[in-house]
Structure 1
Amino acid sequence: MLANTLLAVSILAAATPTPGGSGGTIPASSCSTGPVQCCQTSGSASDPAISTVLAGLGIVVQDVNALVGLTCSAVSVVGVGSGATCDASALCCSENSFGGLASIGCVPVDLSS
């Protein structure tokens, strides 16, 4: 029953390309997809640990090289550039609609700018 439910609510998430080239960071002020996310885990959608979580949530990512963040929370926009901190991975993600469990299509963010 749970497997059927997960299949029924599967979401096809197409990751966006990394702005400025692969592996680069962007200034926090350039994140136009919503608040900067502070994610406790991040990595490629093809990483076994991450792909297992995504599969369990019923999330299908077309680009296996897409950067994904897990267990994310918003970083205060007020604090960005003036001491905002993230003790894990600060990311700007194109798809944040999974209740903080997963953010997809991410780019690393520099919180000091």
Structure 2
Amino acid sequence: MFSRVAAFTLVALPLLAAATPLEGRGGEPASSCSTAPVQCCNTWSNTQASDPAAAGILGLLGIVLQDLTVAVGLTCSPITVIGAGSGSCSAQAVCCQDNSHGGLISIGCVPVTL
């Protein structure tokens, strides 16, 4: 009886491990950015609104955020055509909740994979 349980365990564990979903390592897919076009930000790297550079731009624009730990992107431009020359991003591609500040700052950003 014990040998059957051991054999079942040896067969079941690798199958269970193979079927376990992995968390994405490169951000969400660009197709899941439903709030606005994907942005290419020169500075992102999880820059938070409390960062001195971000806080300075937010202050100049008169933007007050309740959550200073929200990720922001600085000097962003939209990526319009994915896969074409103008759709490439040599910095960080992100999906942001608020892109309405003329590219100076984008608020609520998460990285995306193109």
The structure in which a higher percent of residues are strand is: 1
Q: Does the CA-based 8 Å contact 1:54-1:60 persist in structure 2? A: yes
Q: State the 1:85 CA deviation.
A: 2.2
- Counterpart of 2:31 in 1: which secondary structure? helix
C-alpha RMSD of the superposition: 2.1
**Does residue 110 of the first structure (1) align with residue 113 of the second (2)?**
yes
- Counterpart of 2:50 in 1: which secondary structure? coil
Aligned to 2:82: 79
- Counterpart of 2:64 in 1: which secondary structure? strand
Q: 1:68 to 1:46 in 2, by over 3 A?
A: same
Aligned with 1:35 (options 10, 34, 37): 37
> Which protein has the larger Cα radius of gyration, Structure 1 or Structure 2?
2
The structure in which a higher percent of residues are helix is: 2
- Counterpart of 1:52 in 2: which secondary structure? helix
Detail structure 1 runs of 4+ shifted over 2 Å in the superposition.
82-85
Pairing 1:1-113 to 2, within 5 Å after superposition: 25-42=27-44, 43-76=47-80, 78-79=81-82, 84-111=87-114
State the aligned residue count: 88
User: Percent identity between the aligned chains?
Assistant: 59
Structure having greater relative contact order (Cα 8 Å, sep ≥ 6): 1
